[in-house]
Amino acid sequence: MSTPLAIVTGGSRGLGFVVAKELAKLGNRVLIVSKDPERAAASAAEIGCEFETVDFQDLDATQIKFEEIAKKYGVPKILVLAHGVMSEKMSKTLRTTTQEWRRVMAINLDSVFIAVNTIAPAMAEARDGRVIIFSACLGRMSGPGNTGGLAPYRISKAGVNALVRNLAHETVNGNRGFLVDATCPNHSRTDMGGADAPRSAEEGAATAIWLATRNFEAGKDQTGLFWEDGNVIPW
């Protein structure tokens, strides 16, 4: 029996690194995909995994890279998309430049679509795959924290949530062995979250790791949802 493949984007640092390291410990063959070649090489050496690099803002390069990954590595059991970028602090809807809007959307949403669109069809066809995408509670359309500001970031994450929900419906909500979910890590101590964030990267990554490795019983367990600390939260 071949070793299951897990692909983790943003795996050279922060939440993605924690996920990649744990999946490797659990016996998966791990591939991290990151922008920074030096950091990716160092992180891959620490984890004991393979790595590829691409600038997620360059959508043409991202498309080519994931096509290459599909041919080179085969069909993964797990795809965790943990890469992302925060928008500028003053990026309210009426103060955001088109350039800033496109930067954030390209990295947080468009490249996520490309990765899913390129890698996940074979996972769905195999009826044995799990896609986990790091979203954010700031992308929710209900509940606390949805009062505006950081417009490109919030809207890109709302787009991620919609992508997950739509794909889950299209793939029969896990009844054919293909699972897709979004997770909110909350404010964690990463390069993006800062050193003063209240949660560790390990706490922020825990739900994604659980989603990637949980036992799932079709018709009983749920997928196509938004998860926080192992619980379903409203979109």
CATH number (3.10.580.10, 3.90.550.10, 3.40.50.720, 1.10.10.410) of 5-232 reads 3.40.50.720
Mean pLDDT of 63-78: 98
Q: Residue 206 is encoded by which pair of tokens?
A: 């825990």
Residue tagged 């890469």 (tokens): 83
pLDDT digits (tens, 9 = 90+) for 100-139: 999 999 999 999 999 999 999 999 999 999 999 999 998 9
80-92 CB burial, b ≥16 within 10 A, e <16: bbbbbbbbbeebe
d(CA 202, CA 15): 7
190 pLDDT band (50/70/90 cuts)? confident
Mean pLDDT of 143-158: 86
DSSP 93-116: GGG--HHHHHHHHIIIIIHHHHHH
Could you give the C-alpha distances from 213 to 26, 28, 177, in angstroms and in order?
Answer: 9, 10, 13
31 pLDDT band (50/70/90 cuts)? very high
Mean pLDDT of 179-183: 98
Above 90 in pLDDT, residue 27? yes
Least confident of 19-23, 99-103, 188-192: 188-192
Above 80 in pLDDT, residue 145? no
Residue tagged 């992180």 (tokens): 43
219 pLDDT band (50/70/90 cuts)? confident
d(CA 153, CA 47): 30
d(CA 105, CA 120): 20
Residues 6+ apart with CB under 8 A from 93: 148, 151
Give the start-to-end residue ranges of the domains of the chain: 5-232
Above 80 in pLDDT, residue 144? no
Reduced to 3 states, what is the DSSP secondary structure of residue 24?
helix
Mean pLDDT of 25-34: 98
CA 38 to chain centroid, in Å, comes to 21
The number of beta carbons lying within 10 Å of the beta carbon of residue 170 is 12
pTM: 0.96
Q: What share of the chain is helix, strand, coil (3-state, %, to 5)?
A: 45, 15, 35
pLDDT at 64: 98
pLDDT at 63: 98
The number of beta carbons lying within 10 Å of the beta carbon of residue 216 is 14
